[in-house]
Amino acid sequence: MALVSMRELLDHAAVNGYGIPAFNVNNLEQVQAVMTAADEVGAPVILQASAGARKYAGEPFIKHLIQAATEMWPHIPLVMHQDHGQSPAICQGAIDLGFSSVMMDGSLMEDGKTPASFEYNVDVTRRVVDMAHQKGVSVEGELGCLGNLETGEAGEEDGIGAEGKLDHSQMLTDPEEAAQFVKATGLDALAIAIGTSHGAYKFSRKPTGDILAISRVKEIHARIPNTHLVMHGSSSVPQELLALINQYGGKMKETYGVPVEEIQEAIKFGVRKINIDTDIRLAMTAACRKFLFENPDKFDAREWLKPAREAAKQLCKQRYLEFGCEGQAPKIKGETLQVVAARYAKGELAQVVN
Ligand SMILES: O=C(CO)COP(=O)(O)O
Ligand SMILES: O=C[C@H](O)COP(=O)(O)O
Ligand SMILES: [Zn+2]
Ligand SMILES: [Zn+2]
């Protein structure tokens, strides 16, 4: 099957009440880990590449790694999604490269650090929707800035995150604004801010409602019940992986992620795409540290990449099962992007916002 539209997968997830993890990938082993996990449980797949991933591997490698996955697993509906595009030009580049879905993250200005105005966000997102839908490519936008409600700080581990302190009104997506935003842009999926942030250091304690606002998901969903919601920064940061890393020479500080049961609750209220990168990083690092510690004489990279890939696969498989993806892949038609483009043109996929 050629690459499919993210909209088609999220529509299917909405009708059938499940959520799809979107895994960040940077290299061969991560692509193989996600695909094998999906194959074992019959899950549809969203592979996403950040700007950092494209810089690390090089765009041709990202493109061909994902295309190789469509050849090796032709029966799995697969979306190639660009994560956190900082400008319409970057999204255009990804569409030209063959991505079947893009994120225009207009919650921050092009520098990836300065919170943007609502008007700026609508303008850039609308422009990306116009060009993407003509090709049948899906668009995710973001309203509200990801950040830690305890400290007012955004994740500082990757290239994207607001600088300085944010207040709660910037870090919690407003339901009414969300409705205006969806109406004005016509996007396919909306990333919301509810207290999650990127990276391993999300919460200083197991999160409760004051720092992880699942109640806000419910309020947004009540206002825009037909829009697919996206949760970024949704790694669960399993304590056993932190313990393994530290047991074998790592030095990670105490930290907590987004509990799986909170994500499961959010899935009941319109969350259809759940972004996970950090958990794969933790799983691979733990496995790699353990293997090298136990086998100090080994030097063939394949020997330590194999357990790392296997650990990533187990993590992905667990999330597919926990989010309800099991057995869904064969039920998805896998329309071509041309067919999807025609459906956008006819207005069949227009957003319904009252
Ligand atoms: O949101 C993400 C990518 O867009 C990844 O989030 P994590 O850092 O929680 O894995
Ligand atoms: O958006 C955040 C992802 O975790 C990507 O991280 P990255 O920019 O380090 O590749
Ligand atoms: Zn953002
Ligand atoms: Zn993100």
For 210-262, give the secondary structure using H, E and C: CCCCHHHHHHHHHHCCCCEEEECCCCCCCHHHHHHHHHCCCCCCCCECCCHHH
By most ligand atoms within 8 Å of CB, the mutation choice from 46, 83, 201, 280 for ligand 2 is: 83
For every one of its 354 residues, what pLDDT tens digit does the chain have, with 9 covering 90 and above? Answer: 789 999 999 999 999 999 999 999 999 999 999 999 999 999 999 999 999 999 999 999 999 999 999 999 999 999 999 999 999 999 999 999 999 999 999 999 999 889 999 999 999 999 999 999 999 999 999 999 999 999 988 765 455 677 888 888 889 999 999 999 999 999 999 999 999 999 999 999 999 999 999 999 999 999 999 999 999 999 999 999 999 999 999 999 999 999 999 999 999 999 999 999 999 999 999 999 999 999 999 999 999 999 999 999 999 999 999 999 999 999 999 999 999 999 999 999 999 998
Ligand 1 centroid distance, CA of 135 (Å): 27
Tokens of 252: 């990670």
Ligand 2 centroid distance, CA of 50 (Å): 6
ipTM of this complex prediction, to 2 decimal places = 0.96
Q: Does ligand 2 come within 6 angstroms of the Cβ of 279?
A: no
pTM of the model: 0.97
Tokens of 7: 């909209």
Residue spans of beta strands (DSSP E) within the chain: 20-24, 45-49, 78-85, 101-104, 138-143, 189-192, 228-231, 271-276
Give backbone dihedrals phi and psi of 12, rounded to 5 degrees, phi first: -65, -40
By most ligand atoms within 8 Å of CB, the mutation choice from 107, 198, 241 for ligand 1 is: 198
Q: Please report which ligand is nearest the Cα atom of 193.
A: 3
Ligand 1 centroid distance, CA of 23 (Å): 8
| CA–CA separation, 76 and 45 (whole Å) | 7
The set of catalytic residues is: 83
